[in-house]
């Protein structure tokens, strides 16, 4: 029952977002069509295109047509920036963004879990204070600036990483759309190293915020766990301290952190708008940023819809994961 | 109630101040924020080249590195970067004040109303909040800003129109727990109106949470605002806005690093100070605010 209620709410969110963004971009006072067709377009050309894109119809008629197009032809409308259907653009560019976001969240987890656990174990000590400072630093960087400085230091001065792009040579055979994974699957080491060096900069920059957030969260939840009875029991039985910390406490601390970690993913899709712009990463977020600036209304609605769906998907996944990780919830419901 | 009450209150405040002062990180943040606020207010008098904040150009001095005369160097039009940073501080602080002011006045009443009345009112308000919460602030604010026509003022309005949702959620959560408290029941049985209970009984009791939230969000709002400007949907050159200064300066990397380094550093330090202070306040009041 609970799950269906959530499902219904999430459905409402998707419909709400699509309507809101749809209406929002269509009241744009400028003339995106004229802009897209260029200065040579005659009045008739513009009128014809407006008619073709159904912009001369009432708003609700346009919306119904838009939804029909999605379900019947899986089309999201013409992009004025890319001059092809938005669905096609997103299909091409989404894997790049997803790869970047997943790489960043992995980086963040790898570093934040040991940092958070050790900070909690040395609560009030210098290591704990240092960690807090580190976390506060992490959330204070403007992405565009830390990205530029990364490029400046590691790309220009030290010449260790490429400045921009996703890969230098030819991309690996397309299996998953993730260059790192595809090159591994095809044992294409050259492409793997190439794409790894390219993803390093944007992934590190994108991971700084989540790294800080997750560290603080794990620390707080670990501290909550320390005072619980089962810890005293397992310590009294002489169980290995590392097993107690990383197996039992972390499991509980981590599952209470899940909601927040889930919320970080849609948030990172937003930060990716800036990071992909700085590193010329050929992903969906860069397209989204370009689309917004160019008043490419179909592009804007399409990209926001995908971000909203990602938000919904992550939330429902967390709901399910909670039950797997935390048996108490299963009983309660 | 007698004359001793205000004296006691004063003593309590003094004690709190002593306790708060022990948090060196939070104090460092507070001091930096005071310095930057004073610098922003006094910018026209403190800046060595006040005219450089606007259209003043000196191409003979373009891109001169940091040194005597120009401690942070000059930009591509020969304008003093330090002077521009001082004027930029005004814009960033103004952005934080305007965004949070509008977001607070929309979000907090909505959240309290939804939490206090519950039922259908709750459902409607919170489902709308859900819709706004499912898209990152930066993305929606940018879209709204372009719709309104890119400019600094519009970027502030756009961010505010997106920002209310988080205040709404906070006020909602606080109200749900506060309305169970005895003082609300007592007030209701004494015949207080709902309006009185919501805004005179419940609202004052969430002051500390809201204060922490405002401090932390001020930094975050500045990050979003400068990002929007950087991406070209907000302020436009030659406005001495920090985000646009980084955007303009990046064309001269790696040869001339100062036009992009210093404005970014200014953003970072300001946001960091808000975060240090907010984090300290969160510890001090012992509230859970994300």
Confidence of residue A308 (pLDDT cuts 50, 70, 90): very high
Note the pTM of the prediction, 2 decimals. 0.92
Peptide bond into B254 cis (omega under 30): yes
Chain A contact set for B266 (CB, 8 A) = none
Closest by Cα among B133, B162, B174, B135 to B221: B162
By CB neighbour count within 10 A (0-12 exposed, 13-18 middle, 19+ buried), where does A308 fall? buried
Give the whole-angstrom CA distance, residue A327 versus residue A156.
52
Closest partner residue to A27 (CB to CB) among B131, B147, B247 is B147
pLDDT for residue A333: 47
Q: What is the pLDDT of residue A320?
A: 82
Instruction: Mark yes or no for CB contact A308/B135 under 8 Å.
Output: yes
Q: Do B143 and A136 touch (CB under 8 A)?
A: no
Q: What are phi and psi of B150, to 5 degrees?
A: -55, 125
| A186 vs A275, residue with greater confidence | A275
Mean pLDDT to the nearest integer, A273-294: 94
Q: What is the pLDDT of residue A242?
A: 80
List the beta bridge partners of residue B80.
B74
Would you say residue B195 lies in a domain?
yes
Q: What is the mean pLDDT of chain A?
A: 87
Position B50 scores a pLDDT of: 85
Q: Domain segments of chain A: what residues?
A: 2-73, 87-332
Q: How many CB pairs under 8 A join A and B?
A: 144
Domain of residue B188 covers 22-50+72-289
Specify the number of domains making up chain B: 1
Is the pLDDT at A82 greater than 50? The verdict is yes
pLDDT score, position B1: 45
Assess if residue B121 is contained within a domain: yes
Chain A residues inside the 8 Å CB shell of B278: none
Measure the CA–CA gap between A208 and A142, rounded to whole angstroms. Answer: 10
pLDDT, one tens digit per residue, over B151-163 is 999 999 999 999 9
Residues B150, B142: Cα–Cα separation, whole Å: 9
Would you say residue B226 lies in a domain?
yes
State the fold for domain A87-332: MetI-like fold (1.10.3720)
Partner residues linked to B70 by β-bridges: B67
Cis upstream peptide for A286 (omega within 30°): no
Sign of the dihedral defined by the CA atoms of residues B269, B275, B281, B283, in that order? negative
pLDDT in tens, A10-51: 899 999 999 999 888 887 666 667 666 766 777 777 777 777
> Any residues with CB less than 8 A from the CB of A12 and at least 6 apart, and which?
B127, B130, B131
B99 lies in some domain = yes
A142·B268 Cβ contact <8 A: yes
Q: Is residue B17 part of a domain?
A: no
In this predicted model, which residue has the larger pLDDT, A250 or A299?
A: A299
Is residue B183 in some structural domain? yes
Confidence of residue A329 (pLDDT cuts 50, 70, 90): low
Query: What CATH number does the domain containing B150 carry?
Result: 1.10.3720.10
Task: For residue B6, tell me if it sits in a domain.
Answer: no
- Average confidence (pLDDT) per 10 residues, chain B, 290 residues: 68 86 91 96 90 81 84 88 94 96 96 95 94 91 89 93 94 94 92 93 94 95 96 89 94 90 96 95 85
> How far is residue B213 from each of residues A270, B165, B176, B290, measured CA to CA in Å?
21, 13, 18, 8
| Residue B179 domain-assigned (yes or no) | yes
pLDDT computed for residue A98 by the predictor: 94
pLDDT at B131: 92
Nearest CB among A27, A132, A311 relative to B134 is that of: A311
Q: What is the pLDDT of residue A332?
A: 53
Is the pLDDT assigned to residue A56 strictly greater than 80? no
């Amino acid at each position: 029952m609970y799950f269906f209620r959530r499902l219904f709410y999430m459905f409402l969110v998707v419909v709400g977002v699509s309507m809101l963004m749809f209406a929002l971009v269509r009241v744009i006072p400028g003339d995106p069509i004229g802009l897209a067709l260029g200065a040579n377009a005659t009045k008739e050309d513009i009128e014809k295109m407006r008619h073709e894109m159904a912009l001369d119809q009432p708003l609700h008629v346009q919306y119904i047509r838009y939804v029909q197009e999605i379900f019947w032809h899986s089309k999201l409308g013409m992009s004025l920036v890319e001059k092809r259907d938005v669905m096609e653009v997103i299909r091409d560019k989404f894997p790049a963004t997803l790869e970047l976001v997943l790489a960043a969240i992995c980086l963040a987890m790898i570093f934040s879990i040991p940092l958070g656990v050790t900070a909690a174990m040395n609560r009030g000590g210098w290591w704990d204070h240092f960690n807090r400072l580190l976390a506060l630093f992490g959330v204070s960087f403007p992405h565009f600036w830390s990205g530029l400085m990364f490029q400046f230091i590691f790309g220009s001065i030290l010449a260790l990483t490429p400045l921009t792009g996703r890969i230098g040579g030819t991309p690996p055979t397309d299996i998953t759309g993730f260059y790192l994974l595809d090159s591994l699957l095809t044992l294409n080491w050259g492409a793997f190293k190439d794409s790894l060096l390219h993803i390093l900069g944007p992934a590190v920059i994108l991971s700084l915020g989540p790294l800080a957030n997750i560290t603080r969260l794990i620390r707080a939840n670990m501290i909550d766990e320390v005072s619980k009875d089962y810890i005293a029991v397992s310590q009294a039985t002489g169980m290995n301290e590392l097993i107690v910390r990383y197996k039992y406490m972390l499991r509980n601390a981590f599952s209470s952190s899940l909601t927040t970690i889930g919320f970080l993913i849609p948030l990172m899709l937003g930060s990716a708008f800036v990071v992909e712009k700085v590193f010329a990463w050929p992903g969906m977020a860069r397209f989204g940023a370009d689309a917004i600036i160019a008043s490419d209304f179909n592009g804007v609605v399409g990209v926001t819809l995908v971000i909203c769906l990602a938000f919904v998907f992550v939330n429902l996944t967390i709901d399910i994961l909670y039950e797997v990780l935390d048996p108490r919830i299963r009983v309660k419901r | 109630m007698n004359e001793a009450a205000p004296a006691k209150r004063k003593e309590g405040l003094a004690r709190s101040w002593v306790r708060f002062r022990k948090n060196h990180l939070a104090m460092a943040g507070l001091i930096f924020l005071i310095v930057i606020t004073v610098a922003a207010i006094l910018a026209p008098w403190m800046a060595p080249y006040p005219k450089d904040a606007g259209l003043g150009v000196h191409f003979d001095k373009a891109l001169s590195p940091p040194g005597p005369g120009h401690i942070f160097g000059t930009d591509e039009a020969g304008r003093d970067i330090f002077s521009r940073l001082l004027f930029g501080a005004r814009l960033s602080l103004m952005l934080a004040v305007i965004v949070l002011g509008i977001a607070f006045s929309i979000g907090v009443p909505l959240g309290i109303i939804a939490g206090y009345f519950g039922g259908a009112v709750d459902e409607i308000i919170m489902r709308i909040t859900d819709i706004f919460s499912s898209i990152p602030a930066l993305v929606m604010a940018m879209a709204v800003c372009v719709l309104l026509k890119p400019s600094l003022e519009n970027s502030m309005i756009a961010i505010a129109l997106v920002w209310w949702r988080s205040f709404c959620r906070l006020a909602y959560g606080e109200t749900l727990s506060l309305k169970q408290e005895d003082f609300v029941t007592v007030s209701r049985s004494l015949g207080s109106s709902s309006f009185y209970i919501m805004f005179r009984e419940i609202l004052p009791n969430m002051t500390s949470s809201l204060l922490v939230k405002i401090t932390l969000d001020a930094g975050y709002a500045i990050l979003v605002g400068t990002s929007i400007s950087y991406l070209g949907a907000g302020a436009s050159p030659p406005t001495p806005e920090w985000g646009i200064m980084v955007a303009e300066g990046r064309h001269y990397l790696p040869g001339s690093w100062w036009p992009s380094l210093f404005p970014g550093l200014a953003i970072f330090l300001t946001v960091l100070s808000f975060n240090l202070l907010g984090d300290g306040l969160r510890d001090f009041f012992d509230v859970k605010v994300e």
